[in-house]
Amino acid sequence: MNGNPTTRKNVLIVDDVEVNRLILKNTLENDLVPLEAANGDDAIKIIEEHLDNIAVILLDLNMPGKNGFDVLEYMFEAHLTDDIPVIVLSSSDEEAKIEKAFSLGAIDYMPRPFSARLLLRRVLTTISLFHRKKAMAFEIDKRFSMAENRIDPLTGLYTSNIFYNQVYDKIKNAPRRSLCMVAVDIDHFKLFNRFYGRAKGDEYLRLIGKSLKAYEEKYSAIAGYLGGDDFAILIPNRQGILGDMKKRAREELLDRDYELGYAPKFGVFSIEDPTEPVMDIVDHAFTALASIRTDYTHLMAWYNQDMVRHVRDEFVLLSDVERAVRDNEFTFYLQPKCNMLSGKIVGAEALVRWSHRDKGMIPPAAFLPVLEKNGFITKVDQLVWEKVCQWQRNWIDNGHDALPISINVSRNDMFSLDFTDYFLKLIEKYRLPSNLIELEITESSYIEDLERVGAEINKLHAAGFSILMDDFGSGYSSLNSLKELDIDVLKIDMKFLHIDYENQAKGVSILESMVNMANQLRLPIIIEGIEMYEQVNLLTEMGCKYAQGYYYYKPINVAAYEDLLLDESKVDFGGIQLSEVDQVHMMDLSEEKLFSDEMINNILGAIAFYEINGDTVRLLRLNEQYYNMMDMDYVMADSEYATHLRQSIYPEDRDKFFWLFKKADENGLRGATADIRYMKDGVDMRWIRFRIFPLRKQNDSRLYYGSLEDITEIYQNNENG
């Protein structure tokens, strides 16, 4: 007997190109267990061995030696194509080949290049359609099983295969009516589930199901639930309907008290060719949707050809990266870190460089984002780390003293490697003490999974590694996460402070606050991106000691770095030390200590910097918690913020809000506190405790620091008891 299809877990990936297999593996491994074959012979061996457990095969046609057709022919003759669905991977200009593959029993084909998400959905749908069809042939009570599975019980919408069928009928029967396919999913849905719990997550899916259902009835649309947080709906292509859909989704979200960061997003594809396969139509809608994923400013996007080009460009880049790994084109530069007081080198950061055979030296920004998306980054990172360790070993073997080198870690590395173990093995291999390799972790790698990253950091610490938090101040970071994570050194990047000529004073104040807070948390700081002497001056006055930037050194190749190290007058082997807090020399513009204990006690949680000029309040900067608490966008124009304040502060409390800032001026370092009623969309009232501290006067405006706390529960408890 063959295995029951519902328990089949394997996907067999057959492709001779490693990076292709890797992409497919990364895409599918959450839902299926990947098996890999790099040629036809291996594929056939695996098929024979795992016959009963293979749910689907992804088959590349062009391979050296036994190719995809050979595999298909073997399967066809052995009647295996009746039992296992085969999806052929091919470029769309190979029509004759695809025809031939179909005649040999392939069930579908994916044209390259494809986007990962689309592929995943298509694979899962194929499995469910194929096995359902097969099951139906055997089952006596066909209709019962159909009826049972027609409607998804959670969302009340059609299940995916029924949805595809219904859409097919509708498009075929009304070819001249203008229709569009809208793909819907929820931004950061995983995160949503984590914050609010699964039950709330289900409730959210149900809510979307309900609102799509309403369109079904009103416009005779067809709505389906495709699994996960993916929905699709076929509706008349009318601006009014789409606009309404967008507006309603936002309103419902706010009604339920969910944050805007978890908004449903819409991708729209207008159907021009009624003969286009339904799956392709749905894919196009999801391609459009993918273009605005995690982009707070857009809720809806229309499909266009550029999106396809983008996918193709990434594909070309990836193939080139794979070649470059083979040809050993990746290397690293070193950028010295300096003690600002002496100008001496205390260590360096390793930065990846791609020395491309045709294009010359390529900086990371040109390739890292794409590699990060599909996980290939880890391969390149490992190469860099290995080379760094190798160099350190060599340097020591040549009889020199070594300085620590920090390497960059991307989010994917943490989750795809047994991370700490990997590093321990690495330094063991090169016989290096763990203090010579430091790890830089950026905020984006911990923000989505604080617990897991935190646990890994603890393990790394236990193994003797130092952890640097990279790019602090780029937006997500908050001091709260610093408290939760056991970080050794904070890296603040000047470029995130936007200290241009116009905003200089503000940027400086914000920087100063960050520096002071870090000092209070007893965290040493390295300032990145120092380009001018004035900056050195300013920062040392604030109490910063270490920096990295073009003012000192640009990233340089290993040979140039070696030359520097050989000049003893340029090197300081003392390493990075924490400045004593009482040694910190505060900037003395206000003639008194800028930060009081009260302030420091309130640096955790939601914080913001305000500027008041006459009776306008501007929000200069806010952190993630503030954003979550107050329903705010990161980028809110001044006028929008004014409107936001007017609409959200309870009318009776508005005067109190402005009074707070005046009171804070009077109280100085003690600051001022007030509880203010705050409304979400004019309905849901909450109590927010504002603590405001004056930072600095400049000309007509004043700068303040605010910490916020949602204390609705305290008030509710008081009312109830």
Interacting residue ranges for ligand C2E, rule: CB under 6 A = 335, 351-352, 363-365, 368, 377, 381, 384, 408, 410, 440, 442, 470-471, 493, 528-531, 548-550, 555
CA–CA separation, 496 and 547 (whole Å): 15
Residue 328 Cβ, how far from ligand C2E at the closest point, in Å?
15
Judged by beta carbon, residue 364 or residue 605, the one nearer ligand C2E is: 364
Dihedral, CA of residue 358, residue 359, residue 363 and residue 365, to nearest 10: -110
What six digits make up the tokens of 438? 């430091």
Shortest spacing between CB 26 and ligand C2E, in angstroms: 16
Both tokens of 694, joined, read 């004056």
Q: Which is nearer to ligand C2E, 167 or 441 (CB)?
A: 441
In the complex, least distance from residue 549 CB atom to ligand C2E, rounded to whole angstroms: 3
Distances (CA, A) of 41 to 24, 25, 38, 63, 68: 20, 20, 9, 11, 10
Complex with ligand C2E: residue 354 or 657, whichever CB lies closer: 354
Select the binding partner of residue 605 from Mg ion, ligand C2E, none (C-beta < 5 to 8 A, by kind). none
Q: Which is nearer to Mg ion, 320 or 528 (CB)?
A: 528
Place of tokens 């805007």: 260
Binding of Mg ion by 408 (CB under 5 A): yes
Q: Which is nearer to Mg ion, 408 or 516 (CB)?
A: 408
Amino acid identity at 448: E
Q: Would you say 201 or 529 has its CB closer to ligand C2E? A: 529
Write down the least CB distance from residue 453 to Mg ion, Å: 16
- Other residues' Cβ atoms within 10 Å of the Cβ of residue 119: 19
Residues 471-490: x where in contact with Mg ion by CB under 5 A, - otherwise, as a string: x-------------------
Shortest reach from residue 176's CB to Mg ion, in Å: 56
Find which of ligand C2E, Mg ion, none residue 509 binds, CB within 5 to 8 Å per kind: none
Residue 227's binding partner among ligand C2E, Mg ion, none (Cβ under 5 to 8 angstroms by kind) is none
8 A C-beta contact, residue 623 and residue 608: yes
Q: Minimum CB separation from Mg ion for residue 470, in Å?
A: 4
Q: Measuring CA to CA, which residue among 302, 391, 303 is closest to residue 348?
A: 391
Asked if 483 and 454 touch (Cβ cutoff 8 Å), the reply is no
Tell me the C-alpha to C-alpha distance, in Å, between residue 71 and each of 12, 109, 126, 343: 12, 15, 19, 64
Q: Count interface residues toward Mg ion (CB under 5 A).
A: 6
Of Mg ion, ligand C2E, none, which one sits near residue 352, judging by CB under 5 to 8 A according to partner kind? ligand C2E
Which CB sits closer to ligand C2E, 261 or 529? 529
Shortest Å, Cβ 330 to ligand C2E: 9
Task: Please state the three-class secondary structure of 238-286 as a single string.
Answer: CHHHHHHHHHHHHHHHHHCCCCHHHCEEEEEEECCCCCCCHHHHHHHHH
Under DSSP, is residue 567 helix (H, G, I), strand (E, B) or coil?
coil
Among Mg ion, ligand C2E, none, what binds residue 549 when CB lies within 5 to 8 Å by partner kind? ligand C2E
What count of residues does the chain have?
721
Rounded CA separation 185/204 (Å)? 11
**Least Å from the CB of residue 377 to ligand C2E:** 6
Closest separation between CB of residue 452 and ligand C2E, Å? 18
d(CA 317, CA 21): 15
Binding window for Mg ion (CB under 5 A); candidates: 137-145, 175-183, 380-388, 440-448 = 440-448
Distance from C-alpha of 646 to C-alpha of 28, rounded to nearest angstrom: 48
Token output for 188: 């950061």
Nearest to 404 by CA among 415, 414, 391, 420: 391
Instruction: Name the residue nearer to Mg ion (CB basis): 290 or 467.
Output: 467
User: 């809608």: which residue's tokens?
Assistant: 285
Q: To 5 degrees, how large is the angle CA 473–CA 477–CA 482?
A: 115
Rg (CA), the chain: 29
Residue closer to ligand C2E, measured from CB, 442 or 625? 442
Least CB distance from residue 393 to ligand C2E, whole Å? 18
Binding window for Mg ion (CB under 5 A); candidates: 47-55, 467-475, 503-511, 677-685? 467-475
Residue 512's binding partner among ligand C2E, Mg ion, none (Cβ under 5 to 8 angstroms by kind) is none
Residue closest to Mg ion, measured at CB = 440
* Interacting partner of 377 out of ligand C2E, Mg ion, none (Cβ under 5 to 8 A depending on kind): ligand C2E
The encoded tokens of residue 77 equal 């003759």
DSSP 8-state code for residue 432: -
**Environment class of residue 251 by beta-carbon count within 10 Å: exposed (0-12), middle (13-18) or buried (19+)?**
exposed
Q: What are phi and psi of 217, to 5 degrees?
A: -70, -40
364 binds, among ligand C2E, Mg ion, none (CB under 5 to 8 A by kind): ligand C2E
Q: Closest CB to ligand C2E among 166 and 390?
A: 390
713 binds, options Mg ion, ligand C2E, none, Cβ within 5 to 8 A by partner type: none
CA distance 262 to 719: 32
Say which residue the tokens 């600051």 belong to. Answer: 671
- The rounded distance, in Å, linking the Cα atoms of 404 and 678 is 50
Q: How far is the CB of 127 from ligand C2E (least distance, A)?
A: 34
Among Mg ion, ligand C2E, none, partner that 466 touches (CB below 5 to 8 angstroms by kind) = none
The smaller minimum CB distance to ligand C2E, of residues 149 and 474, is found at 474
If one asks whether residue 470 binds Mg ion (CB under 5 A), the answer comes out as yes
CB 688, CB 709: distance < 8 Å: yes
Residue 115 touches which of ligand C2E, Mg ion, none (CB < 5 to 8 A by kind)? none
- Here the tokens at position 47 are 């098929």
Of the pair 105, 473, the CB lying nearest ligand C2E is at: 473
What part of residues 499-538 is at the interface with Mg ion (CB under 5 A)? 528
Chain CA centroid to CA 399, Å: 43
State the nearest-atom distance from the C-beta of 220 to Mg ion, in Å.
Answer: 54
**107 or 340: CB nearest Mg ion:** 340
* Shortest reach from residue 372's CB to ligand C2E, in Å: 7
Nearer to ligand C2E, 209 or 529 (CB): 529
3-state secondary structure of 376: coil
The residues binding Mg ion (CB under 5 A) are 408, 440, 470-471, 493, 528
